[in-house]
Amino acid sequence: MRVTTKNLMNNYLTNLNRNLTEMQKYQNQMSSGKEILKPSDNPFGTIRAMDLDTSIKQNDQYLKNIEDSIGWTGMTESALGNLTDSLQRTRELTVYGSNGSLSDTDMKAIAEEIKQIISQVAEVGNTNYDGRYIFAGQSTSKPPFEVVDDVIQTATDISGSLSREVSESVTMDINVSGTRLMDGSSEDLSVTLKNIYDRLMSGDNTALSNDSLGKLDEQMDNILSLRAEVGAKYNRLEASKIKNETQNLNLTELYAKTIDIDIAEKVMQYSMMESVYQASLATGGKILQPTLLNYL
């Protein structure tokens, strides 16, 4: 095969362009800080980076769900604490009113405080978090309770649970429905409180002692049980948050290793390619054959 000057020049230009392309690739990587600029740079790495990016975004959403749930359960626990205080005060007044030594005026004075507690319990039942009523079941946009003629009544459907996905295929019910809040014994909490009020107004201390105190204790036991449940959910959510943050950190590190460059390595590779390119340019001057001008 005859090698001509044209063959030499074509091969030289091809190799020179390849070296220049490699220099451009390293320049782009250093300026962008990314190892992969287009899928053809590393098809496997591209797929891995896309999977990791999807996982990171999913974890970010799970974290938002967890943080919202922590706020919700924290508010629920606080509301149940307030309700416990109200019922405890109700019990103290009921015990005081059932001793049989009080006048009708004293009994009615106690009844007036019970009346205020009834309104207070309704207010606790209408506690909201971020504009959503926490005891309203699935109808979180409307206040669940109202007081009509000294009786707590439900204004909306207060049943149903709210679920949040806190990790892949793992969901949690984060709410305490109004139904569970009110149905703490053989009768509704609103009935228990109304009976205490009516019996104080009528001076029926026997019914207070024999019936109302027992029903009230059942209601308080129910609230304490709900508080324990909510506390356990809160602790689980806190643990899920720590796990999520750790997992997200690991995923982010893997993503960075897949797509980000090693600056020191790229500087060295660029310097080497720059030397190769300079050598290519120097070689080009030796391809042309000598002419008469070289001997003048």
Give the model confidence (pLDDT) of 243-257 as tens digits.
999 999 999 888 888
pLDDT at 94: 94
Give the model confidence (pLDDT) of 165-182 as tens digits.
999 889 999 999 999 999
> Mean of the pLDDT values across residues 200-217?
92
Q: Is residue 148 domain-shared with residue 186, that is, in the same domain? A: yes
Q: Is residue 99 domain-shared with residue 129, that is, in the same domain? A: yes
On whether residue 139 sits in a domain, the answer given is yes
Q: Domain span at residue 14? A: 1-30+264-287
- Among 174, 163, 162, 170, residue whose Cα is nearest residue 244: 170
Q: Is residue 137 domain-shared with residue 168, that is, in the same domain? A: yes
For residue 90, what is the domain's CATH number?
Answer: 1.20.1330.10
What is the C-alpha to C-alpha distance for residues 168 and 171, in angstroms, rounded to an integer? 8
> Mean of the pLDDT values across residues 115-129?
95
Q: Is residue 223 domain-shared with residue 269, that is, in the same domain? A: no
pLDDT at 285: 64
Give the model confidence (pLDDT) of 139-156 as tens digits.
888 999 999 999 999 888
> If you average pLDDT over every residue of the chain, what do you get?
86
- Among 197, 230, 192, residue whose Cα is nearest residue 212: 192
Q: Is residue 177 domain-shared with residue 88, that is, in the same domain? A: yes
On whether residue 259 sits in a domain, the answer given is no
Q: What phi, psi does 169 have (nearest 5°)?
A: 65, 20
On whether residue 296 sits in a domain, the answer given is no
On whether residue 55 sits in a domain, the answer given is no
Q: Is residue 224 domain-shared with residue 270, that is, in the same domain? A: no
- Among 231, 116, 125, 127, residue whose Cα is nearest residue 180: 125
On whether residue 45 sits in a domain, the answer given is no
**Which is more confidently placed, 67 or 33?**
67
Sign of CA dihedral 238, 242, 245, 247: negative
pLDDT above 70 (res 287): no
pLDDT at 263: 72
Q: Is residue 92 domain-shared with residue 141, that is, in the same domain? A: yes
- Among 192, 196, 203, 193, residue whose Cα is nearest residue 107: 203
Confidence of residue 291 (pLDDT cuts 50, 70, 90): low
pLDDT above 70 (res 157): yes
On whether residue 42 sits in a domain, the answer given is no
Element containing residue 71 per DSSP (H, E)? helix 43-97
Length, in residues, of the chain: 296
Give the model confidence (pLDDT) of 72-91 as tens digits.
999 999 999 999 999 999 99
pLDDT above 60 (res 99): yes
Q: Is residue 149 domain-shared with residue 235, that is, in the same domain? A: yes
Q: Is residue 1 domain-shared with residue 115, that is, in the same domain? A: no
Q: Is residue 208 domain-shared with residue 94, that is, in the same domain? A: yes
Contact 46, 213 (CB under 8 A): no
The beta strand positions in 39-162, using DSSP E, are: 128-129, 132-133, 145-148, 151-154
pLDDT at 249: 93
On whether residue 193 sits in a domain, the answer given is yes
pLDDT at 21: 75
List, in sequence order, every residue forming a beta bridge with 171; answer none if it has no partner. 165
SS3 content of the chain, % helix, strand, coil (to 5): 70, 10, 20
What is the C-alpha to C-alpha distance for residues 240 and 25, in angstroms, rounded to an integer? 42
**Which is more confidently placed, 163 or 46?**
163
Confidence of residue 224 (pLDDT cuts 50, 70, 90): very high
What is the C-alpha to C-alpha distance for residues 66 and 46, in angstroms, rounded to an integer? 30
Q: Is residue 6 domain-shared with residue 132, that is, in the same domain? A: no
For the chain, percent of residues with pLDDT exceeding 70: 93
Q: Is residue 22 domain-shared with residue 70, that is, in the same domain? A: no
pLDDT at 273: 75
> Mean of the pLDDT values across residues 183-204?
90
On whether residue 146 sits in a domain, the answer given is yes
> Mean of the pLDDT values across residues 107-133?
94
pLDDT at 115: 95
Give the pair of three-digit tokens for residue 91. 């019990």
Number of domains in the chain: 2
Confidence of residue 276 (pLDDT cuts 50, 70, 90): confident
